[in-house]
Amino acid sequence: MAEFTMELNDEQKEVRDWLHGFAADVIRPAAAEWDEREETPWPVIQEAAKVGIYSLDFYAQQYFDQTGLGIPMAMEELFWGDAGIALSIVGTGLAAVGVLANGTEEQIGTWVPQMYGDANDVKLAAFCSSEPDAGSDVASMRTRAVYDEAKDEWVLNGTKTWATNGGIANVHVVVAVVDAELGSKGHASFIVPPNTPGLSQGQKFKKHGIRASHTAEVILDNVRVPGSCLLGGEEKLDERLARARERAKAGGGERVKNAAMATFEASRPAVGAMAVGTARAAYEVALDYAMTREQFGRPIIDNQGVAFQLAEMRTQIDAARLLVWRASWMAVNGKPFIAAEGSMSKLFASETAKKVTAQAIQILGGNGYTREYPVERMHRDSAIYTIFEGTSEIQRLVIARTLSGMSIR
């Protein structure tokens, strides 16, 4: 087990500088254009694939970094460049985490490489959990998976929403209900291979922020997938459902986690790192502006009202990063989140991003409110961090339940 450290090693620093250069030279110059176009930035994704950033090898190296700092460091630098484009680059990672967290070795080896493709043939993946009537309330999920024993196939029907890369992905990971009586404990995850009949894209959403990232509904109409596409396999599912039924009969007991929750728990610190990147970007713009913008014959940072805001912004960003790094180290080294440290990191970092980007606009004044300066876009982008992969309200609920051991509603 690696000891917790706040210092990147030489190799990590080299990777960080490489990512920062890509974010500065490739992502940032393209950010405003793709935000306006509200389209997937394929040229940037392809460039990321060419240099090795959009690849299974790079993702695996960071994911299995025993210090836990590989993923948050990478996320912070890419999202420092631009949140929408960065999410297009890393969006496949959520589906990959879903397979890594729940799949067998054979499933991981078969499907995760197909999610990325290669530099000459870039692929995408999508993780599909939320539904029109089941976002935070996962127990209300309606998408069903029914096993056809005669054909050894699962039949999926339902509608998913808010899916990053939904409908345009080559591989979809879909969470569905297999036992409705067990609520959220009766869910399972399935791989939907490329070109599977019955899967189609529904509405594509026009969003407030992260507009370079494709977000859409996914329609599942009698989608048939082989039995081997059940993540974790049938035996593991049967054992989990049996435990859930026994605990239900006993009136509760130890919590049984479903596949979607396992994916979100693994990814929450990474979302916190995304928020840190956006917050840091806005802070740096505001600091530079405050030091060069003159009013009444002096830089505006000479005013305590501005200087104190910048001091608070930097303090909150550093605090958010430390919470993210701690949770990331704990997750990689198998330490349980006994105080919901993963949710803490996402909650604080996402709220920090919203606050810091709003303060950056205030410091820039009228200029900050225009699209001539990037803080307006950063503020729009930051709103998503308090919503996706568990709203801030859900994070507070998770933390409170973990600390108290009570079913707070």
H-helix or E-strand containing 129? none
User: What DSSP character marks residue 183?
Assistant: G
Reduced 3-state DSSP string for 345-389: HHHHHHHHHHHHHHHHHHHHHHHHHCCCCCHHHHHHHHHHHHCCC
- Tokens found for residue 105: 């070795």
Q: For residues 264 and 268, what is the distance between their CA atoms, to the nearest angstrom?
A: 6
Q: For residues 147 and 214, what is the distance between their CA atoms, to the nearest angstrom?
A: 31
Tell me how crowded residue 400 is: count the other CB atoms within 10 A of its CB.
13
Q: Residue 129 contacts by C-beta under 8 Å, 6 or more apart in sequence? A: 138, 160, 175, 260, 263
Q: Residue 46 contacts by C-beta under 8 Å, 6 or more apart in sequence? A: 119, 122
E strands, 205-286, are 215-226
Q: Closest Cα to residue 105, out of 1, 226, 231?
A: 231
Q: Residue 9 contacts by C-beta under 8 Å, 6 or more apart in sequence? A: 67
Q: Closest Cα to residue 4, out of 316, 318, 322, 275?
A: 322
Give the three-state DSSP class for 278. Answer: helix
Reduced 3-state DSSP string for 69-108: CHHHHHHHHHHHHCHHHHHHHHCHHHHHHHHHHHCCHHHH
Q: Is-contact 399 340, C-beta < 8 A?
A: yes
93: left (phi over 0), alpha (psi -120 to 50) or beta: alpha
Q: Is-contact 349 324, C-beta < 8 A?
A: yes
User: 47, 217, 376, 389: which one is catalytic?
Assistant: 389
Q: Please state the length of the chain.
A: 409
Active site residue 389: yes
- The rounded Cα 310 to chain-centroid distance in angstroms is 27
Dihedral of alpha carbons 71, 77, 80, 83, sign = negative
The catalytic residues are: 389
